């Protein structure tokens, strides 16, 4: 077959004839092609190759081995033949170097090499100023295998050099599809992927279907990574083609309401990367419930055709509430940083206390940059779901693994307990060296609850599943939603969520909850919290009946209690209670995490005679007045609990001091006698103070504080200044002080009545506004049903 010309039907013409091969030539190096799943063109007739096709010879040519003198119709035909040979043998190829003609710049010589040829060029200039976050695996080992071709005067290409030997192991036939130069998604495969993606299937399930369809992974011709990339590109193209629809909608909404906010990264008339918008209701909701935020990137699972990412939160009924939305075409760190900065600007520059996102290094970097003071949490639900994928073989082999993993993450009470449990888990199932488990363990402070309980995330309990983040649009936006359908479904979702909130408001205002105890605290909570939150608080309050609180330590200011469930030997919870400040903290940290007091603190309140919730334990965001512009609950709480709280503080303080007095007094007969004498003296003083209540000491304090209260008090001050103490008898002074005290008490009672009446009027106004809102929504629903 000497000098035989191999013709490939690839639709590529020769590169022109009559050229001198070696005269006036320039040597050049081509860029590596190892980063691309399929080879790209590099010379004459390269237009077809740029589409990413791989050209395969047919018939007897499949078994040929390259040899010097072999001729081809074009450079692309030579490259396709060598790549086909490489697939058969078991290695990947790339273009290494070229020579161009000085005369017209056309390529006249090419060298195709094994992908493991040479060594990686560690360019210090490129890397010294930046940290390499994920260094690539070393793949080049100095392999010499290659094929060199030159252009003839006739326009044909001839093999001028061939090196067969490799210095590394070759890939077996069942794995050759993983090599970069042999990976390509065919037309029929693309059609099937498009169909299955529209049906809501993710890349893993699609690959399973393709393997079954083609009869094995090696016959599919590409990997799951290629499938994911293709689906991602599909998603981006679906938005790029119709981006004008998005802009037209956003401009219309802003024209209708000036408080509608939207922003585009880049110029609107140019190729755009990301779009963000927030309607007036979303911006207003953030002022009420913006303490914790979830950034939902569920679309990145590749099931979704649209790159749609909402910002959501939780309202006072525990329902999801919207804070804005984005379409993300570009997913670089800079793009996420732009999005977070834009969202923050739309929310008046007030960062949240906490934010929850998917587990992603790029998003984490952007959050750190834009929200340096915000606590960043990874969605635990997504990590659990990913665990089922990454450890599917463990789940199948060990049915108990899932329960043990859940127990380790959700049920451990301290950092030390979690660390010990995790070590036992990975050792028990021989997973200490599992790469993915090591990755999530290194990020444990951002997703394991025991590390996050000191921060508010508005969850009803520590062990509950944080919503799959896309819950706001569940039932409306799904995997098959395209851009033409999106905004209608988006508006339906907003309307549905608004109706559910109105219904919850109505139930709270018109359906009084059933009280289960005679506790004043339960009655107080039922009048302050929304119905949903009260029921959650009621669970904790009723739960205290099975818990016992015993004093463990008293340092003079803070009393430490051990709280445990009756009849159980579990480790007790530790509650520290400051009697004077009426503040308690529990080792479970439920209040810090969810804003609702736990049963352990409530059990301590029960044994210490705290009858009502102190005002600092009632978060406005959980109350029925959460969205009220009038701050009612604090003043109402003061009016409602003023006597009970002040009495409780006095009671607890006296009892605390009395216990210390008793402990010291019983140490010996001498201290006992001294203590009894002191008690008798104290009893006489208390009796005298009780009889003299309202006289000199109390009245003088009241006069000093309220002397200028009205004209009567001013006249009294003049009287006191005009007469000397020697001229006034003690009886006259006492009589005058009693008169002033009575006037002051009467004025205070009037003020309390006026304030109570004013609060009542304001509350009636708020209730009336809410009822009108409910009526308006009901009318809208009736009109819609009628249409």
| The pLDDT of residue 760 | 63
Comparison of pLDDT for 50 and 140, the residue scoring more: 140
| pLDDT at res. 730 | 64
H or E element that contains 197: helix 187-198
pLDDT bin (cut points 50, 70, 90) of residue 172 is: confident
Q: How far is CA 781 from the centre of its chain?
A: 34
Predicted confidence at residue 469, as pLDDT, reads 46
Q: What is the pLDDT of residue 253?
A: 93
Fill in the DSSP letter of residue 571.
P
Hey, which residues does 618 pair with through a beta bridge?
none
The chain-wide mean pLDDT, for the chain, equals 78
Region 629-648: mean pLDDT is 48
Per-residue confidence (pLDDT) for residue 691, from 0 to 100: 74
Q: Indicate whether 645 pLDDT > 60.
A: no
Question: What integer is the mean pLDDT of 338-367?
Answer: 94
User: Average pLDDT of 461-476?
Assistant: 60
**DSSP states along 593-627:** HHSS--HHHHHHHHHTT--S--GGG--GGGBTTTT
Residue 271 has a pLDDT of: 54
Rounded alpha-carbon distances, angstroms, from residue 596 to 99, 459, 529, 620: 74, 9, 10, 11
**In this prediction, what percent of the chain has a pLDDT beyond 90?**
35
**pLDDT value at position 547?**
94
Q: pLDDT tens across 140-157, in order?
A: 888 988 999 988 888 888
- Between 82 and 453, the more confident residue is 453
Q: Are residues 558 and 421 in contact, defined by beta-carbon separation less than 8 angstroms?
A: no
For residue range 443-466, list pLDDT tens digits in order: 999 999 999 999 999 987 654 444
Has residue 188 got a pLDDT over 70?
yes
- pLDDT tens profile 503-521: 999 999 888 899 999 999 9
Distance, CA of 213 to CA of 552 (rounded, Å): 68
Half-sphere exposure of 628 (CA within 13 A, CB side): 22
Higher pLDDT, 718 or 287: 287
- 274-278 β-sheet, strand order: 261-264, 274-278, 320-328, 308-314, 292-295, 354-357, 375-378
Mean pLDDT of the 408-431 span = 94
pLDDT at 80: 85
What does pTM read for this prediction? Answer: 0.62
Residue 170's pLDDT is 87
- % of the chain residues with pLDDT over 70: 73
């Amino acid at each position: 077959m000497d000098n035989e010309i191999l013709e490939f039907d690839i639709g590529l013409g020769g590169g022109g004839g009559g050229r001198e091969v070696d005269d006036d030539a320039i040597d050049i190096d081509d860029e590596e092609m190892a980063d691309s799943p399929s080879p790209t063109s590099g010379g004459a007739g390269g237009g077809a190759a740029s589409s990413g096709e791989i050209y395969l010879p047919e018939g007897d040519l499949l078994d040929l081995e390259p040899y010097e003198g072999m001729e081809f119709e074009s450079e692309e035909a030579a490259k396709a033949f060598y790549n086909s040979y490489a697939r058969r043998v078991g290695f990947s190829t790339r273009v290494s170097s070229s020579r161009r003609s000085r005369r017209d710049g056309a390529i006249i010589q090419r060298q195709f090499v094994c992908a493991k040829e040479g060594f990686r060029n560690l360019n210090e200039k490129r890397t010294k100023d930046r940290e390499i976050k994920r260094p690539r695996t070393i793949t080049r080992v100095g392999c010499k295998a290659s094929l060199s071709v030159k252009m003839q005067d006739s326009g044909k290409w001839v093999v001028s050099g061939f090196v067969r030997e490799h210095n590394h192991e070759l890939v077996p036939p069942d794995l050759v599809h993983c090599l970069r130069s042999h990976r390509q998604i065919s037309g029929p495969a693309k059609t099937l992927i498009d169909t299955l993606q529209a049906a809501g299937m993710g890349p893993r399930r699609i690959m399973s279907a393709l393997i079954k369809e083609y009869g094995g992974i090696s016959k599919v011709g590409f990997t799951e990574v290629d499938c994911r990339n293709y689906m991602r590109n599909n998603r981006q193209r679906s938005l790029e083609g119709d981006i004008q629809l998005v802009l037209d909608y956003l401009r219309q909404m802003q024209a209708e309401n000036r408080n509608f906010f939207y922003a585009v990264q880049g110029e609107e008339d140019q190729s755009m990367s990301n779009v963000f918008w927030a309607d007036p209701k979303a911006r207003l909701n953030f002022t009420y419930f913006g303490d914790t935020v979830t950034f939902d990137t569920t679309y990145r699972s590749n099931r979704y055709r649209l790159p749609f990412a909402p910002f959501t939160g939780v309202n006072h009924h525990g329902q999801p509430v919207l804070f804005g939305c984005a379409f993300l075409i570009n997913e670089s760190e800079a793009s996420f940083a732009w999005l977070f900065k834009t969202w923050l600007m739309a929310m008046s520059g007030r960062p949240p206390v906490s934010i929850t996102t998917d587990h992603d290094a790029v998003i984490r970097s952007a959050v750190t940059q834009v929200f340096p003071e915000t606590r960043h949490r990874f969605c635990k639900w997504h990590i659990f779901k990913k665990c089922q994928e990454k450890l599917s073989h463990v789940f199948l082999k060990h049915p108990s693994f899932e329960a043990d993993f859940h127990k380790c993450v959700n049920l451990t009470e301290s950092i030390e307990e979690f660390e010990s449990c995790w070590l036992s888990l990975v050792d028990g199932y021989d997973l200490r060296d599992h790469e993915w488990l090591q990755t999530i363990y290194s990020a444990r402070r951002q997703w394991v609850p025991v590390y996050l309980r000191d921060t508010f995330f508005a969850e009803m309990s520590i062990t509950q599943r944080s919503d799959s983040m896309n819950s706001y649009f569940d039932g409306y936006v799904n995997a098959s939603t395209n851009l033409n359908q999106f905004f209608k479904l988006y508006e339906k979702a907003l309307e549905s969520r608004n109706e559910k909130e109105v219904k919850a408001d109505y139930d709270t205002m018109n359906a009084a909850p059933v009280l289960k105890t005679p506790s004043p605290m339960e009655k107080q909570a039922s009048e302050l919290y929304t119905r949903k939150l009260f029921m959650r608080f009621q669970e904790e309050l009723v739960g205290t009946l099975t818990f016992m609180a015993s004093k463990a330590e008293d340092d003079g200011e803070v009393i430490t209690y051990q709280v445990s469930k009756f009849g159980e030997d579990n480790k007790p919870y530790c509650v520290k209670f400051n009697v004077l400040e009426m503040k308690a903290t529990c080792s479970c940290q439920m209040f810090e995490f969810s804003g609702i007091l736990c049963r352990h603190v409530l059990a301590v309140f029960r044994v210490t005679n705290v009858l009502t919730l102190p005002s600092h334990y009632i978060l406005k965001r959980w109350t029925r007045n959460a969205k009220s512009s009038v701050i009612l609950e604090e003043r109402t709480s003061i009016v409602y609990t003023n006597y009970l709280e002040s009495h409780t503080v006095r009671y607890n303080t006296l009892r605390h001091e009395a216990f210390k007095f008793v402990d010291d007094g019983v140490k010996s007969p001498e201290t006992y006698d001294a203590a009894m004498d002191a008690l008798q003296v104290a009893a006489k003083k208390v009796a005298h103070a009780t009889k003299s209540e309202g006289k000199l000491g109390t009245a003088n304090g009241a006069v000093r504080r309220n002397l200028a209260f009205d004209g009567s008090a001013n006249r009294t001050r003049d009287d006191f200044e005009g007469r000397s103490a020697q001229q006034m008898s003690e009886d006259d002074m006492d009589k005058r002080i009693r008169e002033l005290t009575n006037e002051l008490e009467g004025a205070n009672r009037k003020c309390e009545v006026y304030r109570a009446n004013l609060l009542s009027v304001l509350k009636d106004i708020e209730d009336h506004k809410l009822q009108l809102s409910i009526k308006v929504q009901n009318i809208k629903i009736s009109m819609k049903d009628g249409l």
